[in-house]
Amino acid sequence: MSREPSLLYQVKQVELAVRAQLDDVVRPFGLTTTQYTAMTVLERSPDMTSARLARSSFVTAQSMADIVTALSDSGLIERHRDAKDRRRLVLSLTARGRKVLEDCRGPVAALQERMVTGLSDGAVEDFRSALTLCRQNLGAPDPGSTHVEIAEQQ
Report the DSSP beta bridge partners of residue 78. 92
Query: 3-state class of 6 per DSSP?
Result: coil
Q: What are phi and psi of 142, to 5 degrees?
A: -70, 120
pLDDT at res. 145: 47
- Angle between helix 33-44 and 61-73 (nearest 10): 90
Least confident of 22-26, 38-42, 81-85, 143-147: 143-147
d(CA 136, CA 122): 21
Name the percent of the chain lying above pLDDT 90: 78
Per residue in 56-82, pLDDT (tens digit) is 988 999 999 999 999 999 999 999 998
Q: What is the CA radius of gyration of the chain?
A: 17
Name the percent of the chain lying above pLDDT 70: 90
Check pLDDT > 80 for residue 12: yes
**Residue 78: its H or E element:** strand 77-81
Decide if 92 contacts 77 (C-beta within 8 A).
Answer: yes
| CA–CA distances in Å: residue 149 to residues 4, 14, 36, 72, 78 | 28, 15, 12, 23, 22
